[in-house]
Amino acid sequence: MDYEGSIYRPPSEGRSLILQITVGCSHNKCTFCSMYKDKCFRVKSLDRVLNDLESARNKYHSIRRIFLADGDALILKSELLFQILEKISVLFPECERVSAYATPKAILLKTPEVLEELYNKGLKLLYMGIESGSNEVLKKVKKGSDAKEIVEAGKKIMGTNLKLSVTLISGLGGTELWRKHAISSAKVVSLINPDYLSLLTLMVDPDTEIWQQIQKNEMTVMAPEEILLETYEFIKKLELKSCIFRSNHASNYIGLKGTLNQDKDKLLKELKTYLDDHSLIDPNKYRSL
């Protein structure tokens, strides 16, 4: 495969073929993210992408899932996406799912008709980073979208046959904004009612702008027990229907999973066990990147 730079994908795409169709992220300004800072965003040529698919077909006997990288594959012009998906369909008839990251702005650029056509051609799942539902936090981290746009984008996907997986970052508002972050995030997610919901926990890379803010005391990193309290308040405020929830990423202090709202009481009870006894929290047991 003709990869450029470091390649990232969601944890659930660990066994997928990673097909790089863009280099970097079209936004690439988020203060907490260092993933694409060494890349200048551009679209890879169609010939290179199609050659990658041919090479993969010659190398692998069976490919069930394909993930379109880098950070915002949906930003491509629809005709290019159609051509890539059509080639996948021809070369990999056994492929069950094609997925991609998608920013709110990229989603809003696509009409419902185009989104349905992408689904019909094989794109089945989009991953959208919400990060926070608080406009104050979103502005501070330079997300590039406000809560209204995020809800609009999420509802747009949920109005199609595409599946939507959303991600938030615990601790992103620091100790200063944690309550706004928790409550506003729960409101935004509830309005969207996605198929999948994941919680990551902020891990600060020295190569990010948020690191510099912390060094200048412009933001205070939350302690593990504070993160769990924020998570408790977030889950308590959620109103969802059959949403698969996961908080078992390598960045999290404890692992949580369930279906919301069906398992809300169970999840809150589990969190309360740790909140009542902080000695149960081992901050270094699982966390790594």
Question: CA dist 210 to 33, 35, 216, 275, Å?
Answer: 9, 14, 10, 27
Whether residue 164 lies inside any domain: the answer is yes
Whether residue 288 lies inside any domain: the answer is no
Whether residue 64 lies inside any domain: the answer is yes
Whether residue 4 lies inside any domain: the answer is no
Query: By the 8 A CB rule, do 49 and 70 touch?
Result: no
- At residue 71 the predicted structure's pLDDT band, cuts being 50, 70 and 90, is confident
> pLDDT tens across 251-272, in order?
999 999 999 999 999 999 999 9
Domain housing 111: 11-280
- Res 284 pLDDT > 70: no
> pLDDT tens across 213-256, in order?
999 999 999 999 999 999 999 999 999 999 999 998 889 999 99
Angle at 239 between CA 268 and CA 98, to 5 degrees: 100
Instruction: Identify the CATH number of the domain in which residue 273 sits.
Output: 3.20.20.70
β-strand pairing of 256-260 with 243-247: antiparallel
**185 token code pair:** 């995030």
Whether residue 287 lies inside any domain: the answer is no
Mean pLDDT of the chain: 94
> pLDDT tens across 78-123, in order?
999 999 999 999 999 999 999 999 999 999 999 999 999 999 999 9
Whether residue 225 lies inside any domain: the answer is yes
pTM: predicted TM-score of the whole model, two decimal places? 0.94
Whether residue 88 lies inside any domain: the answer is yes
State the Cα–Cα distance between residues 232 and 270, nearest whole angstrom: 10
State the Cα–Cα distance between residues 267 and 75, nearest whole angstrom: 36
Number of domains in the chain: 1
